[in-house]
Amino acid sequence: MLKKPNNYSMHIAIIGNGISGITTARYLRKLDPNARVTVISSETDHFFSRTALMYIYMGHMGFKETKPYEDYFWDKNRIDLKNAHIQRIDFNEKMLHTQTNEQISYDKLVLALGSSPNKFGWPGQDLKGVGGLYFYQDLERMEQYSKGLQRAVIVGGGLIGIEMAEMFHSRHIPVTFLVRETNYWNAVLPEEESKMVSREIIKNGIDLRLETELKEILDNGNGTCKAAVTNKGETIECGFVGLTAGVHPNVKWLKDTELEINRGIKVNAYLETNIPGVYAVGDCAEQQDVQAGRRPIEAIWYTGRMMGEICAYNIMGKQKSYDPGIWFNSAKFMDIEYQVYGAVSGRPPEHHASLYWEHEEGNKSVRIVYDKNTNEVVGFNLMGVRFRHEVCEKWLREKTDMKTVLSQLKLAEFDPEFYPSFAEPIISAYNKQTGSSVRSTASRKWNQVFSFLHKA
């Protein structure tokens, strides 16, 4: 049994070596040189960038390049890494029990358990050659079944699904993509952007099947998938089925404990659970006091990093509340880059209006969402066009008027030396839509952007 040595101020155990758990560990070490910090994971020995899994498969990176820190970093900073699977937690005795019957005591505990892929009881969902794309082991499974693969079927129209489709496509493996919605991810993306991504998927040679769901996965007789059957009665022969219909907090194994759990582990603004000395961060944490426009559970890299830092401060008695700030996310839909800031929805509330501009080539667009009643800008949705993060955030934080944003739009445009300006056609679209006469009053010069950002 691993016990706390007498010369340590306390032993903090962290279950999970993703961005949340590792950030917690790093900040604990910064704040207290005398605490013992142990990070426990059964996935990999070292922390790696989960979002880079696709680039390993596509040959752009090796696993070593996905590790943000050299292997010596952990010993140098006295952060203990333990490869083990925690099977049970005794919260009363403050004891972790591993799958190999080892016991690890702790003074304080951080649950950074991450997510698990959704499965909806499809017949055949546990066959060989069926899996998601969340863990490193999922990547290994994809690699194992890719040799000689004639076709892959992917189920679920989210970000992970399109990543998996691009991965197989990069190796010239035919892909059929089953999306139950009328267009790709249209519960999140507004209609025009959703249709744009659907066109991009088809343009890249992906067999996109809209309004189509998985009914069952057929067994080849040896416990491996051989085909996917859709709700439309079609049988699609394949050697791999990717299940990417979302994720859920990895907390099922803790449901019968004293820990308060809803969908995720309930935490307050200080990331504390109902059990003293036990914290939860990242994908598994469910906020009880949710800020307007945010969700109780947000499986996003940057919020996980923020939670890790805040958690470390609170463990060390330097109380700080978690404030996720203005919503932001980014992704890549094949060749189309995507950025979203603030409140943008596929199903907007009644009081929201938006200006939508799309480039004639059909692969670039800008949507600016504003409140009909106050005319304050509340969100930006960008496809194939980059805006400066700091500028968008400043406008949203200061609740800037729509006409002011448009007149200053050039300040947000990214990398002006290499990319054309779209400010004028966007302003023209707004004037035509509303009968206004807004004019651009800003330039794209960095000194003007700098002045704007640092204005008191």
The CATH number linked to 179 is 3.50.50.60
The pLDDT value recorded for residue 8 is 80
The pLDDT value recorded for residue 1 is 52
Q: Is residue 134 one of the residues assigned to a domain?
A: yes
- Output the CA–CA distances (angstroms, integers) from residue 73 to 27, 49, 391, in the order listed: 14, 16, 35
Number of domains in the chain: 3
In this structure, the answer to whether residues 231 and 267 fall within a common structural domain is no
In this structure, the answer to whether residues 226 and 309 fall within a common structural domain is no
In this structure, the answer to whether residues 141 and 283 fall within a common structural domain is no
Low-confidence ranges of the chain (pLDDT < 70): 1-6, 415-417, 456
Residues 152-179 pLDDT 10s = 999 998 899 999 999 999 999 999 999 9
Task: Supply the range of the domain harboring residue 289.
Answer: 11-116+248-315
**Whether 402 contacts 376, CB under 8 Å:** yes
**Whether 91 contacts 259, CB under 8 Å:** yes
- Tell which of 221, 245, 269 closes a domain: 245
Q: How many CA atoms lie within 13 A of 92 on its CB side?
A: 2
The pLDDT value recorded for residue 73 is 97
Structure tokens at 237: 């022969």
Q: Is residue 155 one of the residues assigned to a domain?
A: yes
Amino acid at 453: L
The pLDDT value recorded for residue 98 is 97
The pLDDT value recorded for residue 445 is 76
Q: Is residue 172 one of the residues assigned to a domain?
A: yes
The pLDDT value recorded for residue 292 is 79
Q: Is residue 322 one of the residues assigned to a domain?
A: no
Q: Is residue 320 one of the residues assigned to a domain?
A: no
- Tell which of 245, 264, 297 closes a domain: 245
Measuring CA to CA, which residue among 162, 112, 121 is closest to residue 283? 112
In this structure, the answer to whether residues 142 and 109 fall within a common structural domain is no
In this structure, the answer to whether residues 187 and 285 fall within a common structural domain is no
The pLDDT value recorded for residue 106 is 97
In this structure, the answer to whether residues 363 and 219 fall within a common structural domain is no
The pLDDT value recorded for residue 452 is 83
Residues 47-57 pLDDT 10s = 999 999 999 99
pTM summary value: 0.92
Q: Is residue 122 one of the residues assigned to a domain?
A: no
The pLDDT value recorded for residue 121 is 94
In this structure, the answer to whether residues 182 and 267 fall within a common structural domain is no
278-280 and 108-111 beta bridge pairing: parallel
Measuring CA to CA, which residue among 242, 239, 244, 280 is closest to residue 260? 280
- Tell which of 245, 266, 293 closes a domain: 245
In this structure, the answer to whether residues 111 and 139 fall within a common structural domain is no
Phi and psi based region of residue 166 (left: phi greater than 0; alpha: psi -120 to 50; beta: remaining):
alpha
In this structure, the answer to whether residues 49 and 90 fall within a common structural domain is yes
In this structure, the answer to whether residues 111 and 152 fall within a common structural domain is no
Measured distance CA(195)–CA(85) in Å, rounded: 43
Q: The domain that contains 379 carries what CATH number?
A: 3.30.390.30
Measured distance CA(375)–CA(358) in Å, rounded: 22
Sequence-distant (≥ 6) Cβ neighbours of residue 378 within 8 angstroms: 342, 343, 352, 369, 370, 371, 396
Q: Is residue 123 one of the residues assigned to a domain?
A: no
Q: Is residue 5 one of the residues assigned to a domain?
A: no
Neighbours of 151 (CB within 10 A): 17
Structure tokens at 363: 């692969």
In this structure, the answer to whether residues 282 and 332 fall within a common structural domain is no
- Output the CA–CA distances (angstroms, integers) from residue 429 to 174, 376, 400, 406, in the order listed: 40, 18, 19, 11
In this structure, the answer to whether residues 164 and 205 fall within a common structural domain is yes
